[in-house]
Amino acid sequence: MAGKGGVGKTVAAATMATAAARTGLSVLLVEVAGRSASAPMFGADPQGYEEATVLHEAGDDEVGSVTLKSITPDQALVEWLATHGFNRLIGRLASSGILEIVATATPGIKDLLVLGRIKALADESTYDLIVIDAPAAGHAVGFLRSPRGVRDVARTGVLHRQAGEVLDLIGNPDRCQVVLVTIPEETPVNELVETSFAVEEELGVRLGPVIVNAVLPEVAGLDIDLDDLTDAELALNDDERTALALASAFRAGRAELQTNQLERLADLLPLTQIRFPQLFGTTVGPDEIAQLADVLTEAITALPEPVSP
Amino acid sequence: MTTATTFGELVGTSQVIICCGTGGVGKTTTSAAVALAAAQSGRRACVVTIDPAKRLADALGIGELSNTPTDIAGPWPGKLAALMLDTESTFDEVVRRHAHDAEQAERILSNRFYRNVSGTLSGTQDYMAVEKLSELYSSGDWDLVVVDTPPTRDALAFLEAPKLLTRLLDNPIYRMVTASNRGIIGVANRAAQTVLRQLARVVGATVVDEAVAFFQSFQGMEDGFKERAQTTLTLLGDDRTSFVLVASPRSDTLDEARYFLDRIRAADLDAAGVVVNRMLPSVPVGAKRAAELRNELAGTSAAGAATALADLTAAAADDHDRVDELAEAAPHAVLVTVPLLTDDVHDVDGLRRIAELLTA
C-alpha cells in the first residue's frame, strides 16, 4: 500500500488487513517506518520489532487474524548479515561504523533488505497475505526500485542473488501487487498518477485497484435559501441560520472540487477506484476500521474476476 | 532562534527559515508564501524548494531542477526568487569547490561509487539542501533564505546531513585505505584487508574497489569538508535561523509535530514558528447542537444543510483543542492557522493570499 503523506495510507492498509482477515486469512501487516502508526487502529499499544497479533476474525471456514510487525532497515541489515554467515563480524562492523560504509557503498541496500526479509516471510507461508504499509509516495518508488539498483551495483556476491530473488517476487503479478492510495484533491491525484506509471512501467510491478480515501458522501439540497424556510423551521436562531449557510456553502465547494478530481483521476488512470467515505470523527480506532472494511469488502466483491493474461 | 512575537516579525527578522513537517500538510506552499511575505516587506528572499507540485513550479518559473535562483517578478518592494534543488549537481559543485585541482575533481566525479552516493544515498538530498542554504546565505545576495525540507522518514535528517560526510571521513576504513595508493591489494594493514574481503563477499569486489578508489581520491579534501560542515551547523544554530513547523489539525500529523518538537529540542534547538494549515471553517454552532439540528430538520428542505453542519462540526470539533495543545507544546513559537482552501495554490496570486493569512 503506497501513497503520498497525509492521504491515509496507514488507514487503508489496516482496512485491507482487516477485510482479508474476515475472509479467514491470516494476515501480516508490516510497517517499515519504525514507529507503529497502525497499532491504535486495532486498539493495541504501538509495537516494536516483535510481532503482535491484534485481531481475530471468524471467517467462513477458518478464523482469520491480523498480526502487526515492524521491520526497520537497520534491523534488517544486522539480521541479514547474521543469517548470511557474517555473525562474528557484526559487532565489530557495527561498532566501527563500517555498516554505514556498506550501506553507503550500495544505495538501496537497506530497502532491499527490508524487502528481502518480507520475501523470506512470504516464502515461509506462515501468513496467507502480507500487507506492507510502504514508505510515503516518492520513497515507495525508491523502495521498490532498490533491488534493481543493488543488483546493478553489486554485480556478484550474496547481495546480488538476494536482489534477484526479491525482483522475482515483486515482479510476479500472482504474488505481489501495489495498491495506491490517494484523496480527491489535486496534488495527491497528480502524485498518484506519477507513482502509478513509475510502478507499472518502470518497475514492472502490477497495480491493483486505487483506493480513494476521505470521499465526502453526497448531500442533496445544499443550495436552498434559508430565508425561504417554512414555519416549522423558523425556530432557528440567527447563529444557527448563519452556521447552516456557512456549512452548506463549504460542503458544496468541497463536493464540487472532489467531483472534478475523481473524474480527472478516472480520465488519467484506467484503474478501478475503491472509494472510502470521509470519516467525520477525529480519531481512527477499531470501529472506524471495521466500518471501512465493510466498504472495502463490498467493493472487492463487486470487482470483476481477474482474467489470466 | 528569534524572539518574534508575530509571524510577520519572524518573517521580517530571520536570515534563515527552515520549514519542517510531514508530507501532505502544504509545506512547499507555505515555504514559498513565507518568502513572498518577506519580499512584500521589502526584503530580498529566496526559497529553496525540494519537490514542488508541478503547476506551482511552472507558475513560479522553476519547472526544472536548477542550481541558481530564478527571479519571480511581482508587485513587491523586495526581491523574490526560487529554485528547485538539483541534488546531484549541487554535490558536484561541492566537490569542485573543495578539490585541489581539476584533475582531482574529475577523478572523484567519474567514480561510480561517488555517482551512487551523490545520486541516491538517503540523506544526500538533505545534505545538499543544507549545503545550498549555506551557499545562498554566504553569497550576501539574500536577506532571507527559506528552505523547504525534504519529506524524510527522520524529522531531523537535514540536521544530521552536514555530519554525514565528516562521519564517513572519520571512518576507520577510510583511514585504512588512504594509507595506501594501490587499491584494495595495496592496503597494507592486515586487519583492514580482512574487513575489506568480508565486505567484498557481501557487496562484490567491484563495489569495494570503487569505494577504496573514491576514498583515496578524496585525500586532502577532508579538512575543507569538515570546516564547511561546522560552518553550516553553526548557521543552523544561529539566533537568526528560525525553524518553522508546518502541520495540519489532524491528530496523526499533530502527533508527528510533537515528535518533531521533541527531536529538535534534543538537538538544543527550538521551533520559532508553527503554521497549522487546512483548518476547517469555524461556525457559531457547536457539534452537540448541530447533531440536534440534524434530527430536528430531518425531512425538511433544510435537511441537507443540517447534515453538512453536523458533519462539519463533528470533524472540526477537537481541532481547536488539538491546536491549543500543540501551542502549549511549543510555548516559544508564534502560531498561525490557515484555513483549508477550496483549491490548490498554483499561482503567485494564490501564494499572496497565503502570505496575507500568515502575516495578518
Evaluate whether residue B76 is within a structural domain: yes
Own/partner pairs, B163-168, CB within 8 angstroms, 24+ separation: B163/B229, B163/B233, B164/B123, B164/B124, B164/B127, B165/B127, B165/B225, B165/B229, B166/B222, B166/B225, B166/B226, B166/B229, B167/A97, B167/A100, B168/A100, B168/A101, B168/A104
Q: Is residue B184 part of a domain?
A: no
> What is the spatial distance between Cα B32 and Cα A27, in angstroms, rounded to a whole number?
43
The set of cell numbers assigned to B38 is 518577506
Q: Give Rg (Cα) of chain B.
A: 25
Determine the average pLDDT of the residues in A200-223. 92
What is the predicted pLDDT for the residue at A42? 93
Parse chain A into domains and list their residue ranges: 9-221+270-297
Share of chain A above pLDDT 90, in %: 48
Is A106 within 8 Å of chain B by CB?
Answer: yes
pLDDT digits (tens, 9 = 90+) for B164-205: 666 666 666 666 666 655 444 555 566 667 777 777 777 777
Best of B194, B202, B323 to substitute, by most chain A Cβ atoms within 10 angstroms, is B202
pLDDT(A173) > 90: yes
Q: CA angle A178-A180-A186, nearest 5°?
A: 155
Q: What is the pLDDT of residue A109?
A: 80
B203 vs A7, A93, A159: nearest CB: A159
- In this complex, which of A159, A233, A254 lies closest to B302 when CB atoms are compared? A233
How many domains, in total, are found in chain B? 1
**Residues of chain A positioned with their CB less than 8 A from the CB of B344:** 185-187
Residue B213 resides in a domain = no
Lowest mean pLDDT among A99-103, A277-281, B278-282: A99-103
For residue A2, which residues of chain B lie inside 8 Å, CB to CB? none
Q: Region A173-179: what's the mean pLDDT?
A: 95
What is the separation of C-alpha B321 from the centre of its chain, rounded to a whole number of angstroms?
A: 27
Please tell me the predicted confidence (pLDDT) of residue A56.
Answer: 86
Chain B: residue nearest A7 by CA? B24
pLDDT, tens digit (0-9, with 9 covering 90-100), for B106-125 = 998 998 878 776 765 556 77
The mean pLDDT of A195-207, rounded to a whole number, is: 91
Closest chain A residue to B52 measured between Cα atoms?
A187
* pTM (predicted TM-score): 0.83
Q: Which of A184-198, B50-64, B134-148, B155-169 is predicted least confidently? A: B155-169
- Inspect the interface and report whether the beta carbons of B305 and A149 lie closer than 8 Å: no
Residue of chain A whose Cα is closest to the Cα of B280: A250
Nearest in space to A19 (alpha carbons), one of A52, A54, A59, A62: A59
Stretch A106-119: mean pLDDT, rounded? Answer: 84
Domain extent for B16? 7-178+218-281+327-359
Question: How many Å lie between the alpha carbon of A71 and the closest alpha carbon of chain B?
Answer: 14
Residue pair B77/B37 in contact by the 8 Å Cβ criterion: no
pLDDT of A231: 56
* DSSP type of residue A107: T
DSSP state of B194: H
Q: Which pLDDT value is given to residue B162?
A: 67
Amino acid at B117: V
In a domain, B149, yes or no: yes
Give strand pairing partners of B83: B48
Q: Among B203, B301, B347, which would you mutate to test the A interface (most chain A Cβ atoms within 10 Å of its Cβ)?
A: B203
Residues of A numbered 59-98 whose beta carbons fall under 8 angstroms of chain B's beta carbons: which are they?
Answer: 81, 84, 86, 89, 92-93, 96-98
Query: CATH 3.40.50.970: does it fit domain A9-221+270-297?
Result: no
Position with higher pLDDT, A7 vs B197? A7
Degrees (nearest 5) of the Cα angle B354, B357, B360? 145
Chain A hits for B343, CB-CB cut-off 8 Å, are 186, 257
The predicted model gives B83-108 an average pLDDT of 89
The answer to whether residue B142 sits within a structural domain is: yes
| Mean pLDDT of all residues belonging to chain A | 85
- The pLDDT assigned to B244 comes to 94
Q: Is the pLDDT of residue A201 over 70?
A: yes
Per-residue model confidence (pLDDT) at position A29: 96
> B108 near B94, Cβ under 8 Å?
no
What is the model's pLDDT at position A35?
67
The rounded radius of gyration (Å) of the Cα atoms in chain A is: 23
Domain of B42, CATH number, reads: 3.40.50.300
The pLDDT assigned to B190 comes to 67
Question: Taking CB atoms and an 8 Å limit, are A157 and B200 in contact across chains?
Answer: yes
